[in-house]
Amino acid sequence: MTDTRTDATTPTTPQDPYAAPERETTEGTVYTVTGGDWDTLVDSEHDDRIVINMGPQHPSTHGVLRLVLELEGETVTQARSVIGYLHTGIEKNCEYRTWTQGVTFVTRADYLSPLFNEAAYCMGVEKLLGVEVPARAEHIRVLLQELNRIGSHLVALATGGMELGALTGMTSGFREREEVLHLLEFLTGLRMNHAFIRPGGLAQDLPDGWQERVREFLAVMNKRLPDYDKLLTGQPIWKQRLEGIGYLPVDGCLALGVSGPILRSAGLAWDLRKHMPYSVYDQYDFEVPTATEADCYARYKLRVAEIHESLKLMEQAVAKIDELGPGRVMVDDPKVAWPAQLSVGSDGMGNTLEHVRKIMGQSMESLIHHFKLVTEGFHVPPGQAYAAVESPRGEIGAHLVSDGGTRPVRVHLRDPSFVNLQAMPAMSEGGLVADVIAAVASIDPVMGGCDR
């Protein structure tokens, strides 16, 4: 019989099958801390650079965005953005819906500024149709877009503060944004994804008492907005965290096609509302804030200044709508005007009995026409059109192609988040990895619009 006992003088090495000193994988050798392998690891040749993934599920990537960063120590030597994680096929879906139904898709692209998506899309449809929107509807569009701009900028400030550790900025920003969403819900019926701006005008007129609600909102915002200067603008830590970070001069902006607050923070006062006036913006008095520092701090201050300007625009819009008095909010063309002066039921859902009686009681021809208009849609003359508006992130445009049918052949959105995101490497490479967070936050990309 063989003696399997171990002599007390024989050294033994405990072998843990679950923590072997090293093991080979498809990515190379994996070392563990249990073995005496650190000396050999340190002595071996190795590259000082490391590639890391930040996102797509990361609290500081400003959405479902993946950043691939090559680091040397804490310095970023190369940065790449990987997009597409929020792709929903919005543009393609529009080809299978009527022109009016397309509004419910594009409003979900840049979900922080849905009314700007709707406005650009509807302006393109109206160009193809050759129709003129009633003045009351145009001024209401201005009111809603500026309200939406305030809400979007507040989210930019709040999420940027959260990502950089200024949690009070985050809670304050979302508190004020709730005021915006409450007012939008009162005016349009929904907090987001409104589908309120329709080809030819608006879905319906503003509800009774809207002037008082808007003026109350303006009073609240004018009172609370100066608090952001106390909380963030003059705060030494906030300034040190943002000043000189994410620098992108005006020539870099122009080379990359960047627009919006990023471009204006570099000194170029380019704003479509001023330089290529659309809707009725040429009837309004407002300034285009600019800066020259071209860094994250300048973009922050710019957005706060733009909120002030939007409040002034809203105040003017209320006065102009009141001056116009009651009127149509949809073109006076029964072949386009859909829905036909919709009246909402008492439960907030569906049509009122008065509206149903009017549609069904006029004539059988009217009922058939209404049914066909809703189900089949209206015909749009063949051609193509491009319409652009100044969204909170820059130029958002809609390129529409029609073959004369009731559905678009092609819908393409020129989304500013997609274009502006190209500036991320230029802002980040050569800086610290922690400053990538600030740079991306100052771009304020919305991945729903970027991927659409």
Give the DSSP per-residue string, 325-389. -S--SB-S-TTT--SSS--B-TTSSSB-HHHHHHHHHH-HHHHHHHHHHHHT-----SEEEEEEE
**What confidence score (pLDDT) does residue 337 get?**
79
> d(Cα 185, Cα 193) in Å, to the nearest integer?
10
DSSP-assigned letter for residue 229: I
Residue 72 is given by DSSP the state E
Whole-Å CA distances, 439 to 75, 163, 241, 262, 433? 14, 11, 11, 11, 10
Contact (CB, 8 A) for 73 and 52: no
Q: What is the CA radius of gyration of the chain?
A: 28
Q: What is the pLDDT of residue 400?
A: 94
**What is the rounded distance in angstroms from the CA atom of residue 283 to the CA atom of residue 373?**
34
Q: Enumerate residue ranges in the chain where pLDDT < 50.
A: 2, 4-13, 35, 340
CA 163 from centre of chain: 17
CA 416/CA 324 separation, integer angstroms: 34
- DSSP 8-state secondary structure symbol assigned to residue 197: E
pLDDT at 285: 93
Please report the pLDDT score of residue 391 as a whole number: 94
Tens-digit pLDDT profile for residues 163-172: 888 888 889 8
Q: What is the pLDDT of residue 373?
A: 80
Which tens digit of pLDDT belongs to each residue from 199-257?
988 988 898 899 999 999 999 999 999 888 888 888 888 898 999 898 999 999 999 99
Q: Structural domains in the chain?
A: 87-335+353-446 (1.10.645.10)
> What is the DSSP-derived secondary structure letter of residue 193?
-
Structure tokens that stand for 335 in this block = 């072949």
Up-side HSE of residue 170: CA atoms within 13 Å toward CB? 11
pTM recorded for the entire structure: 0.84
Which pLDDT belongs to residue 146? 95
Instruction: Answer for the pair 173, 303: CB distance below 8 angstroms, yes or no.
Output: no
Task: Give the per-residue pLDDT at 47.
Answer: 60
> Which pLDDT value is given to residue 11?
47
Q: Encoding tokens for residue 310?
A: 């939007």
Amino acid at 61: T
What backbone torsions phi and psi does residue 273 show, to the nearest 5 degrees?
-65, -30
pLDDT at 8: 47
Q: Who's near 364: CB < 8 A, 6+ residues apart? A: none
Q: Which helix (H) or strand (E) holds 410?
A: strand 410-414
Q: CA 144, CA 141: separation in Å to the nearest integer?
A: 5
Distance in angstroms (rounded) separating the CA atoms of residues 112 and 117: 10
- What SS3 state is found at 82? strand
Sign of CA dihedral 114, 118, 119, 124: positive
Count CB neighbours of 71 within 10 A: 17
Report which secondary-structure segment, H or E, holds 71.
strand 66-72
Neighbours of 251 (CB within 10 A): 9
pLDDT value, residue 73: 84
**Structure-token pair, residue 351:** 């049509």
